[in-house]
Chains A and B, each alone.
Chain A
Amino acid sequence: MTRYLPPVVLVVLALLPLGLKDPYLLNALITGGIFTIGAISLNLLLGYTGQLSLGHIAFFGIGAYASALTALGFDVGLFGDVRVIHEGWHPFIGFLVAIVVSGFFGYVVGRLSFRVRGAYFVIVTICFAEVVRLVALNWIELTQGPLALTSIPQMKLGFPGLGELTLRTKVQNYYLMLGVATLAYLVVARLVHSRFGRAMRGLKENEQLAMSVGVNATKTLTVAATFSAAIAGAAGSLYAHYFRIIDPDVFLFAYTVTMVIMVVSGGKGALAGPVIGGLIFGTLPVALRPYMAPEAQWIVYGAVLILILFLMPRGIAPYVDDWFAARRARRAHGAAPAAKPQLEGQR
């Protein structure tokens, strides 16, 4: 049953704009969706390798800036008379550049920071995001600093034989977001079901043991960080071309926290986890808006995070799984208990 759930959810989400004409709600769904993609990428690190990266927004923001600058062009003096001048390119190239640049930063940060674990790792990742924010704030020639990068072009998609489409409307951007989110979900799913995914989970369960059977810890974690950062970069690119303005506050810790809440509440280490969390926390601001001020909403998020950690530390997704498993078990009249461990082993 759970096997059919993802496609059903996808179809429901794809049909949503047909019945939903309010641009404000659509806007909230797109924004929530973009951060859900970030959460899907964070889940790869947080959920599958067990590394709590709290600087994840750095890769999202780097993707946003890389994509925007590729599309807008820039003229930057490096040292002496050396200048780098870049004319604006097609926004879709910006999207690809964002993935590559973010992935590269993910690789570098992974190589350097996986030398430490636990609290040290967490702090290094936070510091990395903060340094990137300060660079964005102060390298005014490139990023416009606090003046924000404005007039970022809308995303354009070229179709062979059909010409080019500029994504102007909210509905178009919604489908772009949904497409990228689906892709990100599939990439992560493919990754965690591969041999490489087993190595990752092995490291999470018991690093010493995994290494003794030949898993290269640093290499595995670095590959995971690279993929994770690249997907976050793609989300950042969508953000830049949808909002058409970015400023250094895109690197704020609060956004990382948003993604972490999505992953943890939905269920870390479950493919559906960040999607469930994203749906809840993407739409919650809209639902709560008429009743409470934004600061009161944040109090609710904080409380929800704590409650989830206390009451269901594994998140919502595993409970959904259990529920379906239990129903199957009831149908099979008690034959299931023997089958269940086997199922766990396959997952």
Chain B
Amino acid sequence: MPTHRIASIAALALGLMAAPAVAEETVKIGVNQPLTGPFAASGAYVVNGAKIAADEINAKGGVLGKKIQLVIEDNKSNPTEAAAVAEKLITSDKTPVMMGAWGSSLTLAVMPKLEEYEIPMLVETSSSGKITTSGNPFVFRISPPSALEAEMFAPMVEKLGIKKVDFLVINNDWGRGAAADFGKMLKGKGVEVGLTETMDAAAQDMSAQLAKIKGTDADTIMITAAVDQLTLLFKQMAATGVKKRVVTTGGSQNPDQIVAQAGSAAEKTMHLTTFLPWSPDKTPDPKATEYFLAEWKKRGYPFAGTTESFRGYDGVRTIAAAIEKAGSVEPKAIQKAFWDVELTGLNGPIKFVKSGPEGKESGQSKPGVYLIEISDGQIAEVKL
């Protein structure tokens, strides 16, 4: 490994060896997140949440008596890069377990690598159903798949008086999966489904899609996209004069960022989210939520990021619990130990149940899903 040697010589020369941490043995956790590209904002939040968890655990003595070391790599919001990053984390950094990869298409791209090298991965954000139904026993997911999200939303459909829905979704596994799962649920409840319009992940101008949607008789638009695109959409909706009920799905909305950036254009929009940082006392573990929010604030991150970053926080805590249960840093042992993890996450109990074809089941935890509304610039849970 000549590069490693060159690297350490260079580090010496630069005087970066001040801390003796290099010699200390650590437990490595690979973190595969989008830090550039269209999902950069969300990926950065998840990473910062993960760092809080790692620091908290390390302050209490780490796992198995060793400190946790996060190896963070940027997958550039691109599936091929995500697979390459996984390869790099496994073969070069030798991480026994990973967390990733934010988007569904990114996670799906990584999954064959998990089977190839037999390394478990905790999925913190992705919501496509395919992830836990394709028979990959190395996948453990703490975010809700869109079918679960739709199921939790079902009782609210009548109370909101929804009659006909148009979909506007991001053109990937996440968006298309959400449109399919919510569409199925809605049709089952006798609600009409109209248009399904898509937009590219990097699209900036959705006015053509919105002009089309403006002309239909649907009363509700269901949108699946990341926060940056949602902000643009709300602004453009206001500009095109689209006045319909809006419900967003996917839990990557960062409502506070929307309020800050879209202003009055975001008024009366509704969002399905999995975490309630606005009322910590209503979360399953108020003490942990308070600690997390305080730490987040202390580090100077924007409050808006918490609806994303808590996943990174819970993700690393779950991985640490699995390593502790496994009693070793062998990938095989950690994979087995995931099944025994029981933890109260910031949005509900984390416990994996089997999902997918028999003998090759993936793990799926069932978090809470809440509907919130932006009203007068304030965010509150919708009471139905």
- Whether A and B touch directly in their complex, counting CB atoms under 8 A apart, is answered as yes
Residues of chain A touching chain B, judged by Cβ–Cβ distance below 8 Å, are: 22-25, 27, 137, 145-148, 150-151, 243-247, 249-250, 286-287, 289-291, 294-295
Closest residue to B87 on the A side, CB-wise? A27
Contact A243 B83 (CB under 8 A): yes
Q: Known: A146-B201, A148-B105. Is A25-B80 also a contact (CB below 8 A)? A: no
How does the 8 Å CB contact mask read for B1-45 relative to A, with 1 for contact and 0 for none? 101001100100000000000000000000000001000000000
Residues of chain B touching chain A, judged by Cβ–Cβ distance below 8 Å, are: 1, 3, 6-7, 10, 36, 74, 78-80, 83-84, 87-88, 91-92, 105, 108-109, 112, 171-173, 176, 200-201
**Residues of the B chain whose Cβ atoms lie less than 8 Å from the Cβ of A249:** 78, 80
Q: How distant is the Cα of A323 from the Cα of B172 in the complex, in angstroms?
A: 54
Contact A147 B172 (CB under 8 A): yes
Shortest distance in angstroms between A144's beta carbon and chain B's nearest beta carbon? Answer: 9
**Residues of the A chain whose Cβ atoms lie less than 8 Å from the Cβ of B173:** 147
Q: How distant is the Cα of A341 from the Cα of B84 in the complex, in angstroms?
A: 49
Contact A150 B109 (CB under 8 A): yes
Contact A145 B171 (CB under 8 A): yes
Shortest distance in angstroms between A8's beta carbon and chain B's nearest beta carbon? Answer: 21
**Residues of the A chain whose Cβ atoms lie less than 8 Å from the Cβ of B10:** 290-291
Contact B3 A290 (CB under 8 A): yes
Q: Known: A145-B171, A148-B109. Is A247-B79 also a contact (CB below 8 A)? A: yes
Q: What DSSP secondary structure best describes chain B's contact surface? A: helix
Q: How distant is the Cα of A22 from the Cα of B1 in the complex, in angstroms?
A: 7
**Residues of the A chain whose Cβ atoms lie less than 8 Å from the Cβ of B92:** 22-24
Contact of A148 among B79, B87, B88 (CB under 8 A): B79
Which 4 residue pairs across A and B have the least CB separation, nearest first? A24-B92, A290-B7, A23-B91, A148-B79
**Residues of the A chain whose Cβ atoms lie less than 8 Å from the Cβ of B200:** 137, 146
**Residues of the A chain whose Cβ atoms lie less than 8 Å from the Cβ of B105:** 146-148, 247
Shortest distance in angstroms between B261's beta carbon and chain A's nearest beta carbon? Answer: 25
**Residues of the B chain whose Cβ atoms lie less than 8 Å from the Cβ of A287:** 3, 6
Q: Known: A23-B91, A147-B172, A249-B78. Is A243-B84 also a contact (CB below 8 A)? A: yes
Q: How distant is the Cα of A246 from the Cα of B7 in the complex, in angstroms?
A: 32
Known: A150-B79, A244-B112, A290-B7. 7 other contacts (CB 8 A): A22-B92, A146-B79, A147-B176, A150-B112, A247-B109, A249-B78, A295-B36
Closest residue to A151 on the B side, CB-wise? B112
Shortest distance in angstroms between A266's beta carbon and chain B's nearest beta carbon? Answer: 23
Q: How distant is the Cα of A289 from the Cα of B6 in the complex, in angstroms?
A: 11
Shortest distance in angstroms between A245's beta carbon and chain B's nearest beta carbon? Answer: 5
**Residues of the B chain whose Cβ atoms lie less than 8 Å from the Cβ of A243:** 80, 83-84
Shortest distance in angstroms between B302's beta carbon and chain A's nearest beta carbon? Answer: 23
Q: How distant is the Cα of A243 from the Cα of B88 in the complex, in angstroms?
A: 13
Q: How distant is the Cα of A24 from the Cα of B92 in the complex, in angstroms?
A: 5
**Residues of the B chain whose Cβ atoms lie less than 8 Å from the Cβ of A291:** 7, 10
Closest residue to B175 on the A side, CB-wise? A146
Contact B3 A25 (CB under 8 A): yes
**Residues of the B chain whose Cβ atoms lie less than 8 Å from the Cβ of A150:** 79, 108-109, 112
Contact B91 A146 (CB under 8 A): no
Shortest distance in angstroms between B131's beta carbon and chain A's nearest beta carbon? Answer: 12
Shortest distance in angstroms between B81's beta carbon and chain A's nearest beta carbon? Answer: 8
A-B contact pairs, 20 of them (CB 8 A): A22-B1, A24-B91, A24-B92, A27-B91, A146-B79, A146-B105, A147-B79, A148-B79, A148-B109, A150-B108, A244-B83, A245-B80, A245-B83, A247-B78, A290-B3, A290-B6, A290-B10, A291-B10, A294-B74, A295-B36
**Residues of the A chain whose Cβ atoms lie less than 8 Å from the Cβ of B201:** 146
Closest residue to B117 on the A side, CB-wise? A23
Shortest distance in angstroms between A171's beta carbon and chain B's nearest beta carbon? Answer: 13
Q: How distant is the Cα of A75 from the Cα of B288 in the complex, in angstroms?
A: 51
